[in-house]
Amino acid sequence: MYQFDREAYNRKMEWFVHDRFGMFIHWGIYAIPSRGEWVRSTERLTVEEYQPYFDEFNPIDYDPKVWAKAAKDAGMKYAVLTAKHHDGFCLFDSKLTDYKATNTPAGRDLVREYLDAFRAEGIKVGLYYSIIDWHHPDFPHYGDKQHPMRSNEAYKDYKYNFDNYLEYMHGQVEELCRDYGKIDIFWFDFSYDDMRGEKWQATKLVRMIRSYLPDVIIDNRLEVSGDGFGSIVTDTPTEYSGDFVSPEQIIPPAGILDEKGRPVVWEACITMNNHWGHCAADKNFKNSEMLIKKLVECVSKGGNLLLNVGPDARGVIPEESMEILAGIGRWMKKNSASIYGCGTAGIDKPEYGRITRKGKKLYYHVTEPLVGFVPLTGVSADDVKKIRLLATGTELKIERNWITGNYPDVVFVSLGDKPELPDPVDTVIEVELK
């Protein structure tokens, strides 16, 4: 009888809640049409219509060492790559299918190269695996919610053997667990309608995974999708509940708590533009300044940020994404102490920004210029050991004068005579408590 061990769970999650920032990588043959990773479903393409992309796939510029360096320079501590997405195409050399990168002109196990490159940079490695599959003949076609052939009358009476698909799916996951060394994260996607939990033989699947990788962290999408939390927010999570909640394209308004009011581990997965896979027409990129603030927002609410890139058909991360990563990295180089190992401060959000906390250190993120001094809410002068500007280590003294005197219970500091912030994106003040 399975019983959730909260102490063991908390130990296992320590690195994840410390590192806070990761890279999501959506890549596959859908990068060739470059209309997003759902192109086969949205355009209802048959296997034959989709086949030319398989026949053409040859990412001659793929160098995961470049990806890994970009992630590391941005301050990302872990990464997750789509080993197989919904279209069923595998970037790894699965022995259970011919629908894989090694059978394309690429002729390479692209997952193995990714793992080697990111591990070499000291970045923890994760694999995304889609539990739905639009290529496999025994995955439901007609009448399914999103299968490309969901309304194709030719498949109305098609007979499929779902148990056969489950054997295939479990077998591929076992390959990834058994043959590719230590995997730090398994990111499954996704459950829907009645296709959830034991429909996937989820208990059996998770037990198999943990027999190979006892410390692996698993998301919650064997049980739910991005539109639900699942039993992880209850006092009795199922064996397949996963280890964290995975809100998609949204940052929870107030973090996530379980039914007893305890914080739940969560990770917001966010795109840089409006697509996960490469989309040539989508130039709606969020800038680095915005994404820095979103990372801080996640951490201040007790969550992680998994930020996506969608490499092109040649294996190159778009220039816009690389510039965004570089911008985040410049800020992280000076201010990462306010991210790594930090979480909620237990203090109301100030009007000018946010607060993160690590033990006796509070980090006030000032993102909006103030008139006069900065009020460090939630602390008293008697509790303060020292105050420093995080990026430079410059001492900031508590300001006591006729201006601040009307507010004796508030700690004020000055950021200088200029009306602009020292860092216009996010100026971080570190307050160490006694």
Q: Which domains does the chain have, with CATH numbers?
A: 6-338 (3.20.20.80), 353-433 (2.60.40.1180)
Say whether pLDDT at 113 is over 90.
yes
Burial class (CB within 10 angstroms; exposed 0-12, middle 13-18, buried 19+) of 385: exposed
Rounded average pLDDT over 10-14: 98
d(CA 88, CA 50) in angstroms, rounded, equals 11
d(CA 295, CA 293) in angstroms, rounded, equals 5
Say whether pLDDT at 171 is over 90.
yes
Rounded average pLDDT over 372-378: 97
Rounded average pLDDT over 274-287: 98
Say whether pLDDT at 1 is over 90.
no
Q: One-letter amino acid identity for 313?
A: A
- Please indicate whether residue 399 or residue 228 has the higher confidence score (pLDDT): 399
415 contacts: CB under 8 Å, gap ≥ 6: 366, 374, 389, 396, 421, 422, 427
Tokens of 220: 């919650």
% of residues, the chain, pLDDT over 70: 100
d(CA 71, CA 24) in angstroms, rounded, equals 10
Residue-wise DSSP of 369-384: --SSPEEETT--GGGE
Q: Which pLDDT score is estimated for 286? A: 98
Rounded average pLDDT over 212-238: 95
Q: 366: closest CA among 378, 379, 380, 356?
A: 356
d(CA 355, CA 338) in angstroms, rounded, equals 9
Say whether pLDDT at 211 is over 90.
yes
Q: Which pLDDT score is estimated for 227? A: 85
R_g over Cα of the chain: 24
d(CA 227, CA 361) in angstroms, rounded, equals 35
Tokens of 307: 């930020």
Q: Which pLDDT score is estimated for 420? A: 95
Tens digits of per-residue pLDDT, 289-328? 999 999 999 999 999 999 999 999 999 999 999 999 999 9
Q: Which pLDDT score is estimated for 226? A: 82
Tens digits of per-residue pLDDT, 379-416? 999 999 999 999 999 999 999 999 999 999 999 999 99
Tens digits of per-residue pLDDT, 39-58? 999 999 999 999 999 999 99
Q: Which pLDDT score is estimated for 396? A: 98
Tens digits of per-residue pLDDT, 133-158? 999 999 999 999 999 999 999 999 99
Rounded average pLDDT over 51-66: 98
d(CA 230, CA 247) in angstroms, rounded, equals 12
Q: Which pLDDT score is estimated for 51? A: 98
Q: One-letter amino acid identity for 283?
A: K
- Average pLDDT along the chain: 98
Q: Which pLDDT score is estimated for 347? A: 98
Tokens of 408: 């004796």
Rounded average pLDDT over 214-236: 95
